Amino acid sequence: MDRFYVTTPIYYVNDEPHIGHAFTTLNADAVARWHRMLGEDVFFLTGTDEHGLKIQRAAEENGLSPLEQADRTSVRFKEAWRSLNISNDDFIRTTEPRHHVAVQQLLQRCYDNGYIERGTYEGSYCVSCEAYYTDDELGEDRTCPIHKRPVEHMVEDNYFFKLSAFEDRLTDWLTNSPDAITPDGYRKEALGLIRQGLEDISISRTSIDWGVPVPWDDGHVFYVWYDALINYATAVGFGSDDARFEQWWPATHHMLGKDILRFHCVYWPAMLLAAGIEDLPTYHVHGFLLVSGEKMSKTSFNKISPTAMVEEFGVDGFRYALLRDHSFGPDSDFSYESMLSRYNSDLANTFGNLLQRVTTIVGKKCGGVAPAPRVDSPVADKAATAIAETIAGWAKFQAASGLDATWRLAREANELLSETEPWKLEPGPEVDAILGDALEALRIVALLGAPAMPEAMAAAWARLGLPGRPEEQRIADAAVWGQYPGGVTLPEGEPLFPRLKAT
RNA sequence: GGCGACGUAGCUCAGUUGGUGAGAGCGCUCGACUCAUAAUCGAGAGGUCGGGAGUUCAAAUCUCCCCGUCGCUACCA
Bases in strand B with any atom closer than 7 Å to a protein CB: 2-6, 11-14, 25-27, 32-42, 70-77
Of A213, A205, A234, the C-alpha closest to A93 is A234
Share of chain A above pLDDT 70, in %: 91
Check if the beta carbon of residue A440 is closer than 8 Å to that of residue A409.
Answer: no
Count of residues making up chain A: 503
Give chain A's end-to-end CA distance (angstroms, integer). 48
User: Checking DSSP bridges between strand A201-202 and strand A204-205, what pairing results, if any?
Assistant: unpaired
The nucleotide lying nearest A327 (C-alpha to C1') is B13
Of A306, A238, A305, the C-alpha closest to A272 is A238
The nucleotide lying nearest A325 (C-alpha to C1') is B12
Q: A146-160: string of b/e by CB count within 10 Å (b at 16+)?
A: eeeeebeeeebbbbb
Delimit the domains of chain A by residue range. 3-286, 344-478
pLDDT surpassing 60 at residue A129:
no
pLDDT digits (tens, 9 = 90+) for A183-212: 888 888 888 888 888 888 889 888 788 899
**What pLDDT, on a 0 to 100 scale, did the predictor assign at position A301?**
40
Rounded CA separation A123/A222 (Å): 19
Rounded CA separation A486/A440 (Å): 9
The nucleotide lying nearest A137 (C-alpha to C1') is B74
Mean pLDDT for all residues in chain A:
89
pLDDT surpassing 80 at residue A503:
no
Rounded CA separation A393/A404 (Å): 9
Rounded CA separation A260/A285 (Å): 9
Query: A344-478: which CATH topology?
Result: Isoleucyl-tRNA Synthetase; Domain 1 (1.10.730)
Homologous superfamily of A3-286: HUPs (3.40.50.620)
DSSP A221: E
How far in angstroms lies nucleotide B12's C1' from the CA of residue A306?
A: 21
How far in angstroms lies nucleotide B52's C1' from the CA of residue A184?
A: 29
**What pLDDT, on a 0 to 100 scale, did the predictor assign at position A153?**
74
Q: Provide CB contacts within 8 A for A126, sequence distance 6+.
A: A132, A133, A144, A146, A147, A149, A151, A152
Rounded CA separation A192/A187 (Å): 9
Residue with CA nearest C1' of nucleotide B12: A325
User: Checking DSSP bridges between strand A3-12 and strand A252-257, what pairing results, if any?
Assistant: parallel
pLDDT surpassing 90 at residue A423:
yes
**What pLDDT, on a 0 to 100 scale, did the predictor assign at position A315?**
95
How far in angstroms lies nucleotide B63's C1' from the CA of residue A213?
A: 55
Residue with CA nearest C1' of nucleotide B77: A12
Point out the residues of A that are catalytic: 18, 21, 126, 129, 144, 147, 295, 298
Helices (DSSP H) in A249-376: which residue ranges? 261-262, 268-274, 306-325, 336-342, 354-365
